[in-house]
Amino acid sequence: MSIELFSIQTLFCCIAYFFAGIVDSITGGGGIITLAAMLTAGIPVHYIIGTNQCAAWPQGAGGCAPDSRSSRQE
């Protein structure tokens, strides 16, 4: 199945992802914004969940890395 996004949908998603990244870096929970943006763009739900999970685990690993380094130094 092919997903085709029109340019206005692509622009909307890019703006939403940028805003979600800012929110996620400050407080967390930016994935909720990306989920809503992709649903609004008409992307099928199984693609949305997969995309969100593929983006979430490296963020979690990156957030844990500084903690593991600081605990080894003590």
Mean local confidence (pLDDT), 21-49: 87
Choose the weakest-confidence range: 27-31, 45-49, 58-62: 58-62
Question: Which SS3 state, helix, strand or coil, does residue 42 take?
Answer: coil
User: In sequence order, which residues have a C-beta less than 8 Å from that of residue 43 and are 6 or more positions away?
Assistant: 3, 5
- Rounded to the nearest integer, the mean pLDDT of the chain is 78
Backbone phi, psi, residue 50, to 5°: -65, -40
Cα-atom radius of gyration of the chain, to the nearest Å?
15
Domain extents in the chain:
7-73
Euclidean distance between CA atoms 17 and 20, whole angstroms = 5
The DSSP call for residue 39 is: H
Pair of tokens at residue 55: 């983006």
Residue 11 pLDDT = 85
Encode pLDDT of 4-19 as tens digits: 656 788 888 889 989 9
- Which has the higher per-residue pLDDT, 1 or 15? 15
